[in-house]
Structure 1
């Protein structure tokens, strides 16, 4: 087994099988990627909400790579073992006009700069590990469970494909469960697979409802292995642990509608109203908190014509009664 590295400068802004590999590795090799945050360095710890107006949107969600894995052929599967994820000591969350589940209701830009604890911060006695304060005065803290929002391989279809959406070959899957110790399986469509990664998140709720998590630069180490006996992997598959303790309790709001998107929007809207009323958050603060800590769940999808979508927020993030 060999260990390799991909630099910050070795990045690209599209999934495109014509992009030359930044690195060639053997199956089973380990690669460490040094990645900027999803803003591609446009947002810094000194940024304010006014910075969002000057963002070059076409530069967002860059990924590092691609890495050519010897022996990978169309029809194979690329196994990605997530060995280590290390984030910076700062991050950001934002409401960016035009992005997010309730974009039409939040047209004004907002930015939160987070202070993230160093990697050597000791684990607390109650076992919660590292966390960042969303609002220390109100006693709201967020457990840090870092992961890469973007992990994927090049599509077989020629041309440049945006890094913003997810695809059957991976990409912006934004799956909070793909933390250290998880295993991701991706369907290979081109020789060498051409794996890339990026979009560091220190924490995120399922659904990432306002369009951002705790975005942060990261260094992530993965092991890339070609698998020949999993032809059923035609979309991303993964093995992971639950992001919550087994005894976790949740505040849950629901949305009910015949349109699944409207049911989802209603579930989030109701949680925002709950947080405004019960915890005194502003509407935009509540929207951001939902995006970094809450989970969307499909509670009922069989009794037509309506869907029931739940929005679950762990009670443990609130440290004051």
Structure 2
């Protein structure tokens, strides 16, 4: 059911008005007053320790409007950029700190079954439109825009990103707080599947498993289509069918023997569907965004695949409704884009993807100025950090800032240099610094606590710049608050 966030709904405007009423003056006032009173994410999460101290919250709230404005950013061929981030992009919407913006995000795998995920959906149709006569979104990746060998952009980046959002007052050195207020699945426009959404898992050549298959043929790529309840009536996804990737000829006549370019329309007359899969298996739903990114400053066009110091393709399933992310701002306005929406994912994203499923998210964005950060937990934050009501989470990569560390050829070299060892060491170092600076622990204390109170895990091993994370529960420090 549309809740004011489905622009394909014939009663969208009516539902949108009701949503605005629900988030009326009383609710908007609460967002600001609670932010000041308790600091940051804790206000929306129901209390607890937050990275945003009351003093920082007070300073940041002084710059908020009396009532936040609401913005809506649909996903169309005019509002997305495909496969790259760039400080040169024109903002699709400009907002003030404290404003709330609803953003549609499309999965780049929708053309794996266009009947279920594209057809009849005007926004998706405009983005994925590709015929011999016209390709609406020509550039797909950070490569040469005019390259015709494989397609504009060279496929050096795959994610359909909506945005960017320009936040007035955000400047390099500031921190942008991104609260994820809501996530909703984008319903299929196919009338035969009303009330359902669909997503795709691609077991592909970039997956960690690929060179370790035991059944023949050992170089196979498998597409698995999952079904979810678009209205949230079921907390589980179930597999609908799978098929083996077969060579696909795109509308420009290029043959894709493997999944090497995003958005290639799959001709279903060339595949064989297998519906007898994962019988009785229910996959818990974890709606989240694999990509939330601010534009980096190191290069004009940056591949969307490797995660970086300003966010990007982190692929952490915890970055969903109720969570808050903190990002270092590298360029004026931040230039935030979202993409790579997932219905669910496990730590590691082993086969190459999650359940890639179009989702609409609602976010509140708060600017914390550099001048106000001194002595706070956010001072000197140089990477994306996640906060929930109960936990803090640091993100470590094989290279914390690969664009700066690997030199002029970084966007190519990163794919051959990553390791879990490097990512875990980066996560360990970030957690050590976090504990020593925010909790005033000695190094010896921090190391001991990490071994017994921090859960380190593998975020992903498929995105070029591999990731590990460290999680610590806030209640470990409850005795300090007594």
Normalization by structure 2: what TM-score?
0.46
Could you report, residue by residue, the CA deviation over 1:269-301 in whole angstroms, capped at 9, with x for unpaired residues? xxxxxxxxxxxxxxxxxxxxxxxxxx9936xxx
Matched residue, 2:112: 43
Matched residue, 2:204: 96
Matched residue, 1:234: 382
Could you say if the C-alpha distance between residues 42 and 242 of structure 1 is closer, same or farther in structure 2, counting changes exceeding 3 Å?
Answer: farther
Gaps of 5+ in 2: 1-67, 117-149, 187-196, 214-218, 240-275, 392-417, 424-454, 459-467, 469-482
Pick the aligned partner of 1:185 from 299, 303, 326: 326
Matched residue, 1:75: 173
Pick the aligned partner of 2:212 from 74, 84, 105: 105
Gaps of 5+ in 1: 48-53, 122-128, 244-258, 265-294, 299-308, 310-321
Matched residue, 1:8: 75
Matched residue, 1:84: 182
Residue 137 of structure 1 and its aligned partner are, at CA, apart by 6.5
CA distance in 1, matches of 2:324, 2:170: 17
Residue 157 of structure 1 and its aligned partner are, at CA, apart by 1.6
Pick the aligned partner of 1:32 from 85, 93, 102: 102
Residue 241 of structure 1 and its aligned partner are, at CA, apart by 5.8
Normalization by structure 1: what TM-score?
0.67
Residue 160 of structure 1 and its aligned partner are, at CA, apart by 0.4
Matched residue, 2:230: 118
CA distance in 2, matches of 1:6, 1:152: 16
In the alignment of these two chains, the number of paired residues is 238
Larger radius of gyration between Structure 1 and Structure 2: 2
Q: CA RMSD in A?
A: 2.9
Are residues 1:223 and 2:364 paired? yes
Q: Hey, which of these two has a bigger chunk of strand by percent?
A: 1
Matched residue, 2:88: 18
Q: Hey, which of these two has a bigger chunk of helix by percent?
A: 2
* 8 Å CA contact retained: 1:27, 1:71: yes
CA distance in 1, matches of 2:337, 2:199: 22
Could you say if the C-alpha distance between residues 132 and 120 of structure 1 is closer, same or farther in structure 2, counting changes exceeding 3 Å?
Answer: closer
Matched residue, 1:133: 238
Residue 119 of structure 1 and its aligned partner are, at CA, apart by 1.7
Could you report, residue by residue, the CA deviation over 1:195-216 in whole angstroms, capped at 9, with x for unpaired residues? 1101110000011011110101
Matched residue, 1:155: 296
Pick the aligned partner of 1:60 from 148, 154, 158: 158
Instruction: Give 3-state SS (helix, strand or coil) of 2:211's partner.
Output: helix
* 8 Å CA contact retained: 1:91, 1:214: yes
CA distance in 2, matches of 1:101, 1:2: 44
Instruction: Give 3-state SS (helix, strand or coil) of 1:232's partner.
Output: coil
